[in-house]
Amino acid sequence: MPRTTLAFAAALIAVGVISYATTGFTSWTALIPAFLGLLIEICGLIALKNRKIGLSIGLVIAVIGVLGTSMNVLKLGELIAGEAERPMAVVASTVTFVLLIVYIILGVRAFITARRGEEANATTD
């Protein structure tokens, strides 16, 4: 899971940089996915040494990111109708939202699997 965390971090950084470039390097808020990716990358590096702490912090950051991007994701209907005020923000937020949701699902599954493994080891001891 630490390597998966680093991969998701790289994807988020790419989303942020691409968003920033497509806005003509004028909107700093387009870099929000990159900042989230940087924080999650740090967590991934921590997870290489201490898996539980690194992944726990990474998942907390991901949940905060999901909450933060959800307001633009709700404007997806406006984007489809061609009425979105900031279409690139909606697209970047939606991609970020989906990446973070997938990361959260994988992270929770990894914790559940690890917990089941600990319980199985405890019963055999």
Q: Is 20's pLDDT higher than 70?
A: yes
Q: What is the pLDDT of residues 48-82, one digit of tens each?
A: 999 999 999 999 999 999 999 999 888 888 888 88
Specify the number of domains making up the chain: 1
Q: What is the pLDDT of residues 1-18, one digit of tens each?
A: 889 999 999 999 999 999
Q: Is 123's pLDDT higher than 80?
A: no
Structural domain including 107 reads 2-124
Question: Residue type for 79, please?
Answer: L
pTM: 0.87
